[in-house]
Amino acid sequence: KAGVTQTPRYLIKTRGQQVTLSCSPISGHRSVSWYQQTPGQGLQFLFEYFSETQRNKGNFPGRFSGRQFSNSRSEMNVSTLELGDSALYLCASSDPGTVETQYFGPGTRLLVL
């Protein structure tokens, strides 16, 4: 099976702009989670979608939003970008089951200038 894919891989934006990141899960996986990774805060959970519904949400401002489509692909959107939003954004998908192990994509590196 193909792994989790994320597009774009790199992105440069300026403050105040908005950005949309995309994630395609492993075939058959219905859960998609998003994480933000920064040197200062480490890995932080943003939100999780399962069957097009948000199942969990982390402690991020409302500028961070997401959605999931019927084919399980997910997008996350960040509006009114701030310098502190510069980070590696990781997407992970999991197979419904007992353990629901998450498998990660390569990430999107966002730089806000």
Partner 1 sequence: AQTVTQSQPEMSVQEAETVTLSCTYDTSESDYYLFWYKQPPSRQMILVIRQEAYKQQNATENRFSVNFQKAAKSFSLKISDSQLGDAAMYFCAYRSAETSGSRLTFGEGTQLTVNP
Binding site residues, partner 1, CB under 8 A: 31, 33, 35, 42-43, 45, 48, 50, 55-56, 58, 88, 90, 92, 94, 99-107, 109
When computed from its CA atoms, the radius of gyration of the chain, rounded to whole angstroms, is 13
Task: Name the residue nearer to partner 1 (CB basis): 80 or 100.
Answer: 100
Nearer to partner 1, 79 or 88 (CB): 88
Minimum separation from the CB atom of position 113 to partner 1 (A): 20
Cβ of residue 77: shortest distance to partner 1, in angstroms?
A: 20
In order of 18, 40, 78, 95, 96, the CA distances from 60 in angstroms are 16, 15, 11, 25, 25
- Give me the DSSP letters along 49-91: EETTEEEEE-S--TTEEEEE-TTS-EEEEE-S--GGG-EEEEE
Specify the residue, 17 or 101, whose C-beta has the smaller distance to partner 1.
101
